[in-house]
Each structure stands twice: as C-alpha cells, then as structure tokens.
Amino acid sequence: MIEVSEIRKTFGSVKAVDGINFHVKKGEIYGLLGPNGAGKTTTISMISGLLKPDSGSITVAGIDIGGKSGQIRKRLGVIPQEIALYDELSGRENLHFWGSLYGLSGKKLREAADRMLELVNLTERANDNVRDYSGGMKRRVNLCAGLIHDPDLILLDEPTLGIDPQARASILKIIRDEATSGKTVIYTTHYLEEAENLCDRIAIIDRGTIHAEGTLRELTELAGEEDVVTLTGNFKSGVTKEILSGLRIDHLEDGMVRFYVSERETIGMVLNKFFNSGVSIENVSIKEPSLESVFLRITGYELRD
C-alpha cells in the first residue's frame, strides 16, 4: 500500500529525517515509536504531502506522491497531533466543514457526520460548541475529522496525547476496527503500551533514523533472554567495573551502571559484592526482555513521556 524509500528532511542544520525506509501493507497497523523530536511528525507530514522530502520517494498504492499529492490526499485520512477543530463551531459543524473539504456534500455529508458522531458516542453533544468539550471529546472529534471521508490510508500522529484512559481506549478500538476493515494505518506514538497492544509491526525511530523494525515478538527477541539491570549509588566506575567482571556492561559512569544478566541469582551476588565493598546502592531497576528493554538497548535511554 505504501512504500517509503530513503526520505530525508533537513531544517537548517537539523536532520529531522535522515534516510528512512519502510513499507506498509494493506490492512496493517504500522507504528513509529520514538520520543518527541525523533522525526515522527516530519515523516507523517511528508507522507501526507504537507512537506516535500529533500530527497527520496514515497509511493501510495503505486503512485508517487511527488507530483500527485492532490490525487493521493483524497485517499488519505490525516489525524494530526494538534487539535484541528474550530472552537466556535459545534462538533457536527466541524465535521461538516472537514467533510466538505474532502468532497462530501448534501445527504452524504450529513449521514457521514452522524455516523462519525455515533461512532465516538458524541451524538448527544453534537450541537455543542467544541470549546465546551473535554480534551478527550476533542480528540475523538479530531479523529472523526480525518475519517469522515472513509480513507484508504490513515495517518495518525500521537492521537491520544494528553487524554484520559477511557477516551484513549475508545480511540484505539476505532483504529483497530478500521484496520480490520482493510484500512492501512500508520501510527506514531511515544507510548510503549500503545505500540505493543495496537501495532502489527513497529519501527523504533530516534534522531531521524529507524534503528529497528519488526513485529513485537521480533523486536523483543533483539533483547535476548537477559534482564536489564540499572544500579545507582555512590560508587565509582573503576570499582564497579571490577565488581561486574564477566558481565556485559551497557553503560558505566560514576554513580550509575547498566548491565545484563541471564539469571536473577546473579543480581543478588552483584549487590552483595557492592555492599561488601562498602558501597551504598540507592536504587535497583530490573527490566525483563520487552519492547522497553529493546528501546533502551538500541538508543541507550528509556522512552519517557
């Protein structure tokens, strides 16, 4: 359905996207997982035609969007990170506005708006001004604005940012249902649990580059069978290196060390060595093989909100 090949985008001296490649099949939910500033929004903007890549190519259903972005946009549903609604209009009026931009009119437009409002359980609030909606309600209408024309390819950029768990669950269910019906979805997020529970395949993106890609199982296999252990305390790196002799150390500095163990008993032995050396351990963190540990191993830091 979509093929992204070696796309790049630079803003001044900042390489926002630096040679990204991926493909997404029809009916698949493809996740771009990374922190703020990783290049997710820039990538989505180039796929939607809002930004032109400095180099590389993007094709949708075999059509290069380079010279035919207008033709492609009719098949796209874009749900941006920012709320794209008018506060002075009602939820229904906002959907009528966005639907008309996609070419809907008359009875078809009214029926599509009503269907969307029912889908997100906002029929009773449809005529209230958006300014009076909660954050979760605005997010749900924002989602509807991108789906009202029944697009083939849906691009979602952090669609659950800053909302309550109930509204988030509602949005994620709608997205799953869209994919089940045959729609192709590209979903950006910095929430690990969303990527784990929603996406068929996940790309770990950071600093404009995709560092790993695959199903959840394929990615977690990259972490191996080892637990990731992080210790903080008043120890020096030289002493720590000696205590952890024979173990694989991922990161080491005064006061912090991160290493891998294949057996939990090893952690107790290591802590005893620290205590016997007169070192005070302030915190112990143990992470089992997971998408979180994969992200940590690949990027060198934890993915935080």
Q: Do 90 and 40 lie in a common domain?
A: yes
Same domain flag for 148 and 32: yes
Q: Taking residues 258-277, report their average pLDDT.
A: 88
Same-domain pairing of 47 and 117: yes
Where residue 266 falls (left for φ over 0; alpha for ψ -120 to 50; beta otherwise) is: alpha
Report how far residue 36's alpha carbon sits from residue 22's, in angstroms, rounded to the nearest whole number: 20
Higher pLDDT, 292 or 172: 172
In a domain, 296, yes or no: no
Which range of 75-84, 107-116, 240-249 scores highest in mean pLDDT? It is: 107-116
Closest CA to 192 of 288, 302, 45: 302
| pLDDT for 68 beyond 80 | no
Q: pLDDT band at residue 221, thresholds of 50, 70 and 90?
A: confident
Three-class secondary structure of residue 231 per DSSP? strand
Given 170, 196, 221, which residue is the final one in a domain? 221
Residue 199 lies in a domain: yes
Three-state secondary-structure class, residue 195: helix
Asked if 216 and 190 sit in the same domain, the reply is yes
Which pLDDT does position 115 carry in this prediction? 96
- Alpha-carbon gap, residue 221 to 271, rounded angstroms: 27
**Assigned domain for 305 exists:** no
- Residue 249 maps to which CATH number? 3.30.70.260
Question: 204 and 131: one domain?
Answer: yes
Same domain, 255 and 181: no
Q: What is the CATH number of the domain that holds 197?
A: 3.40.50.300
146 lies in the same domain as 24: yes
Based on the fold, state whether residues 108 and 136 are members of the same structural domain: yes
Domain containing residue 92: 2-221
* Averaged confidence pLDDT in the chain: 90
Number of domains in the chain: 2
Alpha-carbon distance of 134 to 152, in angstroms, equals: 29
Place of tokens 């889908």: 119
Q: What is the pLDDT of residue 39?
A: 94
